[in-house]
Amino acid sequence: MAIIRHFQSFTTSTILIMSKTIDLQVEKSRSLIEGYRSHLSELQGRGVSADQLDRMEQNIQRLIAAGEECDRMRAALSEKVRDTNAILQAVKDEFLQQKQIVKAAYDQKDWRRYGIMDKR
């Protein structure tokens, strides 16, 4: 049973994409559990129990939930980084605009008085 992936555009607020590593491990583990359950009577003599397989299934569910939580956190962080970068760009643009007022009106030797550290 493959994990359903939810893809949405990068402009939406939620993107749920389980990491490929987790996705592959879940698929392999589910396949192993299914195969073991169908041959449990043979494998019990080798130390395999239904309880162990149940624990594996529980851990798989925990892994899926943790992976989804990481995906939500990653999406929120990506959105926050985009917002921060937009704010940074606005500050830079305003800084350059304000700096040009003094640079256009005063000689280079006077720029430091106005907090402009540029050499040119």
End-to-end CA distance of the chain: 64
Enumerate helices (H) and strands (E) in the chain, giving the number of each.
3, 0
Lowest average pLDDT, out of 9-18, 24-33, 97-106, goes to 9-18
Give domain status of residue 93, yes or no: no
pLDDT at site 17: 63
Give domain status of residue 102, yes or no: no
Q: CA geometry: angle at 112 spanning 91 and 94, to 5°?
A: 15
Give domain status of residue 103, yes or no: no
Give domain status of residue 105, yes or no: no
Tell me the β-bridge partners of 16: 6
Return the number of other C-beta atoms located less than 10 Å from residue 98's C-beta: 13
Q: CA geometry: angle at 56 spanning 50 and 60, to 5°?
A: 145
Tell me the β-bridge partners of 6: 16
Give domain status of residue 58, yes or no: yes
Q: How many domains does the chain contain in total?
A: 1
Give domain status of residue 13, yes or no: no
**Global confidence as pTM:** 0.66
Tell me the residue range of the domain where 63 lies. Answer: 20-87
Give domain status of residue 119, yes or no: no
- Find the mean pLDDT for residues 37-41: 97
